[in-house]
Amino acid sequence: MRIKTLYLSTLLLCGTPWTSKAQETMTPELLWSLGRVNLVDVAADGQALIYSVARANVPENRFEREYRWVQTAQGTESRLDFGGLKPSEIQILEKSQRLAFLANGQLHSARFDGTDVLQHTDVEGGMEGVKLVENPEGQWVVLFSRETKTVKGARDLYPSLDKALVTVTEDLMYRHWDHWSDDRSRHICLMRFDAGAAVKKPHSDFVDLMEGEPYDCPGMPFGGAEDFDLSPDGRYAVYSCKKLQGKEAALSTNTDLYWVDLNTLTTTNLTPNRKGYDRMPRFSPNGAYLAYTSMPTPGYESDINELWLRRISDGTEVLAVGGEFLDGFDWRGSGELVYGLPDQGTHKVRTLKFSWKKASFKKEKTLELASGDYDFTGVRCGGTAVFCQRSDMNHAPEVYRIDGKTHQPISRVNDAVYARLQLPKVERHTVKTADGQDMMSWVIYPPNYDPNQPHPALLYCQGGPQSMVSAFYSFRWNFQLMASMGYVVIAPNRRGVPGFGEAWNRSISGDWGGKPMADYLSATDYLRELPGVDPDRIGAVGASYGGYSVYMLAGLHEGRFNALIAHCGLFDMQSWYGTTEELFFAEFDLGGSYWGGAAPLSYSEYNPMNLVDRWETPLMVIHGGKDFRVPENQGFEAFQAAQLRGIPSRLVYFPEEGHWILQPQNALVWQSEFFGWLDRWLKR
């Protein structure tokens, strides 16, 4: 049997170059030429900010990032150079009138225009995730993370066999998402030195605040500087950490907040009685309060995310925002919190003003600052100003300032590209589910859509599973691109997503293959009746839980679909339970293990592999070799089953990718294969 190999040079050479006159709709190549904007930091007075722009260098198969300095009052913008260094984690230091940043793993600083670059540290092994404050004594107090050896590894057991590559374990969590566990941990460390002091070589005068502990902060693999914070005076630090190992860690979401007195180096657990995720500690600008998020339900990673306040003077705590799926916040002054949350298909921004006098905590006012059919994310405050990133299904994120109910653009990185495009039409629709519920669904139409002509269509199945279909802009699951390629797309917020009440969100746990599948079929039947949709040319696509959904629908759809694509989907729930890593997710959402007593329906009626005898629709399977959340055997088993059933099927395997496709050339191959398969079966 011959395995077909697709070479990138062929793909790129065959791609049609776009010009300002010829380009009318979005293409994969144009999508991957867009700048990816990220809000980096905002000055305390709101008069300046920094944002970054990352662009894919496809021939080099990497990303190149630049930083831009904006003076918001004057409306001026300049590019920061930093003497050719490649910076990250930039912070604005008002007292010192400098920008602090990491480059080559060490702390540097520069003037606000990027000149006069100085190196301040020479820490062995380098630094990550820096937070820095300027204390009243004229010092820079720096918190950072670094890797350190904390346990014995295989090379300690076999020192003379240093070429052996092996993992040896007697416990769980031996791998996580896309990396294998080893003998090293990420620790929070402290350093103090005179503001702007020159580098010391070697720089060993730092303190490991987690000395000898085999735990990670920031949490692996996605945690960053949001996992810890410094008080404004540099006296205290707080960090979030799951101080569990092995099976305990695999079965628990219990991260706690740890308070460190940086003068005495004593550490105290602030949240010993909270057994869910406690995260994102943030001191108020005056240092009087600590805010943080907390999930109340142990083991449930998609729980409501409450916002708690702690008064530093006496340790009293109050619930500031409850019953919401809060997804980020910042302080605007020391008596107001600005936070983001999913709500009815978009991510909005709200603000809470409060007063706290003695024993009396009072919520004075709650306002909605930003709404509409947009996603507002990454909220940051400076002075009275609120900044964030705004996106919709036709526009990649840009930096915006929120003024009352208006949104003022700060960055316009991709405006010129979108101005040349014919944009798809995006609509909200209400679909009645099989049990009579109202399900908010997005419908995206091709540019110049003619309802009198038959069009192929797609059902988009969301992953998560507890993840809302919002006004997001993906560089892979891009609705603008799908519609521009001629497809009508329906993207339903089926059972299980946040933003539509806690009951709607929780209802999917233990019922993966039940009502959510009925919701998808209801959305498909609604799609089939839309003017201009050809009911005989409909596909279903999705990733992760969305891939699971595609495998389930393959046995349930009763002729509704003509093509299917599952990316990193779960195929056999029993073997998945036995190979995934964060078992708290499987325990909560599947209802437990497959052995002993009455096994949950997740392993029988709601297990895609048990429906293979009903499969008959052409199926593409996509999977990554470093996906340890949904291991590669899930994709291999599904593809093999389809092949042995004689079903037209295609396997697209990326050995160096994980749960996502991140490398530029791989991403373009993904797009080519994705639309090639759909066009093959839906545009005949």
Question: How far apart are the C-alpha atoms of 270 and 319, rounded to whole Å?
Answer: 15
The answer to whether 339 and 307 have CB atoms below 8 angstroms apart is yes
Sequence-distant (≥ 6) Cβ neighbours of residue 660 within 8 angstroms: 476, 624
Q: Which two tokens stand for residue 499?
A: 């933003």
**Is 16 among the domain residues?**
no
Question: How far apart are the C-alpha atoms of 673 and 566, rounded to whole Å?
Answer: 12
Residues of the chain scoring pLDDT < 50: 1-22
CATH number, residue 567: 3.40.50.1820
Question: How far apart are the C-alpha atoms of 187 and 278, rounded to whole Å?
Answer: 18
Sheet strand arrangement including 289-294:
278-283, 289-294, 306-311, 317-321
Question: Which position among 227, 231, 627, 672 bears the catalytic label?
Answer: 627
Classify strands 649-654 and 619-624 as parallel, antiparallel or unpaired: parallel
Length of the chain: 684
Taking phi over 0 as left and psi of -120 to 50 as alpha, with beta for the rest, 75 belongs to left
Question: How far apart are the C-alpha atoms of 405 and 407, rounded to whole Å?
Answer: 7
Cβ atoms < 10 Å from Cβ of 354: 17
Give the 3-state secondary structure percentages of the chain, helix then strand then coil, rounded to 5: 20, 35, 45
Question: How far apart are the C-alpha atoms of 274 and 297, rounded to whole Å?
Answer: 9
Boundary residue ending a domain (213, 247, 272):
272
Question: Which position among 522, 544, 602, 672 bears the catalytic label?
Answer: 544
3-state SS class at 53: strand
**Is 351 among the domain residues?**
no
Residue 17: Cβ-neighbour burial (10 angstroms; 0-12, 13-18, 19+):
exposed
pLDDT tens-place string over residues 474-496: 999 999 999 999 999 999 999 99
**Is 472 among the domain residues?**
yes
User: How many independent structural domains does the chain possess?
Assistant: 2
The answer to whether 545 and 601 have CB atoms below 8 angstroms apart is no
List, in sequence order, every beta strand (DSSP E) within 94-160: 98-103, 106-111, 118-119, 128-134, 139-149
Peptide bond into 218 cis (omega under 30): yes
Question: How far apart are the C-alpha atoms of 239 and 259, rounded to whole Å?
Answer: 7
Question: How far apart are the C-alpha atoms of 55 and 475, rounded to whole Å?
Answer: 12
| CB burial readout 292-317, b (16+ within 10 A) else e | bbbbeebbbebbbbbbbbbebeeeeb
AA identity, residue 110: A
Question: How far apart are the C-alpha atoms of 394 and 373, rounded to whole Å?
Answer: 11
pLDDT tens-place string over residues 139-193: 999 999 999 999 988 888 999 998 999 988 999 999 999 989 989 999 999 999 8
**Is 128 among the domain residues?**
yes
**Is 163 among the domain residues?**
yes
* Per-residue confidence (pLDDT) for residue 202, from 0 to 100: 60
> Is this prediction's pTM over 0.85?
yes
Peptide bond into 202 cis (omega under 30): yes
Question: How far apart are the C-alpha atoms of 593 and 603, rounded to whole Å?
Answer: 9
Boundary residue ending a domain (272, 288, 305):
272
Question: How far apart are the C-alpha atoms of 24 and 396, rounded to whole Å?
Answer: 17
Q: Is 544 a catalytic residue?
A: yes
**Is 671 among the domain residues?**
yes
* Per-residue confidence (pLDDT) for residue 200, from 0 to 100: 64
AA identity, residue 322: G
* Per-residue confidence (pLDDT) for residue 204, from 0 to 100: 64
The answer to whether 227 and 274 have CB atoms below 8 angstroms apart is no
HSE of 624 in the Cβ direction (CA atoms, 13 Å)?
23
**Is 523 among the domain residues?**
yes
The answer to whether 6 and 671 have CB atoms below 8 angstroms apart is no
Question: Which position among 470, 557, 659, 672 bears the catalytic label?
Answer: 659
3-state SS class at 224: coil
3-state SS class at 244: coil
Question: How far apart are the C-alpha atoms of 502 and 30, rounded to whole Å?
Answer: 39
Q: Which two tokens stand for residue 454?
A: 């038959």
Q: Is 474 a catalytic residue?
A: no
Boundary residue ending a domain (246, 272, 298):
272
Q: What are phi and psi of 389, to 5 degrees?
A: -105, 135
The answer to whether 350 and 338 have CB atoms below 8 angstroms apart is yes
AA identity, residue 109: S
- The 8-class DSSP code of residue 611 comes to G
Residues facing 49 on adjacent strands: 42, 70
Domain enclosing residue 179, as ranges? 90-272
AA identity, residue 544: S
**Is 120 among the domain residues?**
yes
Sequence-distant (≥ 6) Cβ neighbours of residue 192 within 8 angstroms: 139, 140, 141, 142, 234
Question: How far apart are the C-alpha atoms of 243 and 220, rounded to whole Å?
Answer: 12
Q: Is 375 a catalytic residue?
A: no
